[in-house]
Amino acid sequence: MSSPFPQSQPQPPPPTHSSADEAAVGGACGDHGLSRAEFDELRRRATAAKATCYAPYSNFRVGACALSEGGGGPEGAASPYISGANVENASYPVGVCAEVTTLSSAVTSGHRRFRALAVATDVAPPASPCGRCRQFIREFCPLDMPILMFDKNEDFIVMKLEALLPLSFGPENLLPPGAAAAAARGSA
């Protein structure tokens, strides 16, 4: 019996580029609407955020930095850059990834729209956000937003969220509050 779903071939990973390669950085910035200064600041802050992680169990440090749209949040935050790091727990499922701490901090500070997210690790090649993080990012970020992934050498890969989370489920897929109950009453 054949599957009703089309069979796809695994996609090769996107190319990794050096942060020192002016042409590669310029191309990535141009393709994703970022200035060189924004790219450098995202890289710098995500890399620096690794030092603030709490990872005594895995020793896998992850730092992240989000660039909010329109500057600081409504509470007067001066910077559009919000950073975070992974926080582990002895009960492994309780830990929180850097992407989640970053966006949670941003959202609770009043930021609601984002232009880019950078993630930095101590491994090579660059590591991508885990599945849970991809879905969490999807809640707050547009599908065409770039995710910049930096490795221990500050080499990078850039992918749009929609490439990391194809056929995604987001807030727009939910029924408006009360719609399910109203539909059930109407069909009774």
87 annotated ligand binder? yes
Q: Which domains does the chain have, with CATH numbers?
A: 22-167 (3.40.140.10)
Comparing CA positions, the residue from 34, 96, 42 lying closest to residue 64 is 42
pLDDT at 75 over 70: no
Share of the chain above pLDDT 90, in %: 79
Q: Which of 145, 149, 138, 144 is nearest to 174 (CA)?
A: 138
22, 41, 69, 99: which one is catalytic?
99
Ligand-binding site membership of 65 (annotated): no
The reported pTM is: 0.87
Whether 41 is catalytic is no
> By mean pLDDT, which of 12-21, 82-91, 98-107, 127-136 is the weakest?
12-21
Q: Is 173 annotated as a binding residue?
A: no
Q: Long-range contacts made by residues 88-95, C-beta under 8 angstroms, separation at least 24?
A: 88/54, 88/55, 88/56, 88/57, 88/58, 90/57, 92/57
What confidence tier does 72 reach under pLDDT thresholds 50, 70, 90? low
Nearest of 8, 59, 50, 1 to residue 167 by alpha carbon: 8
Determine if residue 91 is labeled as part of a ligand binding site.
yes
pLDDT for the residue numbered 1 = 54
Distance separating alpha carbons of residues 151 and 36, to the nearest angstrom? 18
Given a cut of 80, whether residue 127 has pLDDT beyond it is yes
- Three-class DSSP category at 113: coil
DSSP string, 127-141: PPPPHHHHHHHHHHS
Average pLDDT over residues 163-172: 94
- Binned at pLDDT 50, 70 and 90, residue 184 comes out as confident
What average pLDDT does this structure show over 173-180?
83
Is 88 annotated in a binding site? The answer is yes
